[in-house]
Chain A
């Protein structure tokens, strides 16, 4: 029996060829799959069914993906959403996450990539509970991070982090005590296409440490896990 059979996924895309192809691929991976061809249809399915994850295209007739996501979150529905973005520019990724999507994938992609992302998102849900994963504001002692506005404060002073350093800090903070590998950070924060290497991740972690005054040898926030990656070691609360 396939491992994912109890997991229901809704695919929302107005392109028939993409939708039907993805339905076959996900069913073959063992998921139970529902489909919708526009935003309004998606909301109807969401209301009628219990879902584990939604794959949502951005550009669609009637209601677009962003509007659907916004409506869901306003209604306190925290079903994980993977957004299919059209544009690779950083702004598009950030705005997708701002609307409450949990992850994004750029078109064109292959179905293996999509399935890997879906599994990672489902695993994330199991490991870390909703509150911190989905929270827009994360607080750890004197450190405060606001996801939507991309702003960070230490004590009462705001600190200016580069986009990527902010992404790394947000990713680590939303997984307190979990070891996150450099590869995972590269994948999530930099995306699949950027020709960056492990050292790039280290440079950004060094930036965070410098600006937070966090010593690598005796860290208050980010610990280096030798040969693997990093771990956020302080307690994190959501607001």
Chain B
């Protein structure tokens, strides 16, 4: 994508990087270490960027890398289980591989891929120039990445991966049963990644609530934005709970505390409760962004508004609330007592209602529409179908007696893969095809895309469909092999073949990206709105210019962009009033004030894994780590938020510029850092302009 040099001058001056005040643009060296980055070209630009779009792309790329990592782990599992008494992996390594597969796919693939969409799309869909706290946004990404790398580094320096399953039940997670450092890396790695998600959740919620364009009421926000907003609220309240659990686990393992060790009189159920109070909202954290994608794709390709917008939004909110009241259905066999079991059975059945509402609304949206089966649409419809299967098998778990039979069998594995892969991954893949031209400025080839889709759908069903049968036959999950003679052979072989078909479909995706990029040179550019879509991101050029909107649009209705292209004639028939090219902005605005890049988020993020290694191997390592974090925070706080214009705050005659030319991220970052967990020190002494104003 083209990267426009950030133009940071006042609106009326024309020269690039020239300030009204005549000051040099950026000359600050907060701690005399790093020059304030200017957002140049090449990789340095990516290291210091605070642009929500670039951060979104980095999230997406990293997520795909970890998709491959987790996918390889999945293939190893399937190779091991292809035939009875498989010898590909030892039991010990098998434990590590399935644990890391789960952790990687959940925390390092789907969540960051959803975060990629959230970062990229939320500001565009609500008509903002950036998120509320651009530097915190960069911090989220770098901290998440450092946590992800830290977590996976246990393969090399920790004596292997975690081997306790992704939910890491006690006492398996204790030192007795898991003596390697894998679980330590799991605990600290997820803590670091959790900081990232928390910061990001706060940032995106504030963005959604505070940065909307004029007229963009909450109930004019696209369903995608709504679902992402609900996801952020779930993260906001779920993460602290897992944070507690992970801290206590870390204290148990590294400092001999007794929180989960039954030998010391502790209660292993505590972990299960804490984990699943986080873990069940986590399911919705994974699925709601995909629901959002589907809710954008289906109306666009059915040429109809979403059926029952308000219902869609409120059912999403209902899912968000009810998601907190069902966690113990993961624990029906833990002996939590008949009353708890009955209550959680009921709530689990009830949560199917708002989900069913969504499915029916998508179907009603398609009903009578002029449907175009593009790749994105295929993925969306596939998501609805596969998620419905997963949802229905989920309802069978709500019946506690049935669940008792299914727990810890492959039936559960089948169920949650239908939800998470069939719902989450297929949905986000559809989003990839749908927004690709917007993000990168060229279309992905549709024919290869459809090959991608059908291979993935068939492979997925071949892999996970048979697991229902295997589970009901009694095959246990998390056992490294099985003997012949139980009747498990055939379906296991089918599942293994299916998993390799999925792998091929992912290769087709990568091939499609590569080939389409090469072919794009000979094709006409996609234009701002290749799909004839409905929401605001399609009214800006593709790829999106750095400043997003030339002029922040004033929103008058739901599906604002569609209403700028179409109207109704006297007979109520839809007539086109403008082509997309006519109605779209051309991205030519100059002199839009944008937040300045910063290196400090990266510095801060590098410090955290050092502290992690320190806790595990040698506490002295915490010192440089802590120093880096502290330095990052204070340098960040002292760094003028928006350097050049910050001085204008006190001039008294530049207010109009501020009001019209930036959406307030500078203002917003006034004391941005207090929102960061645990490191709330920053921001305190820093107000924009102080540094410069005072000297």
* Real binding pair: no
Binding site for A on B (CB under 8 A): none
Binding site for B on A (CB under 8 A): none
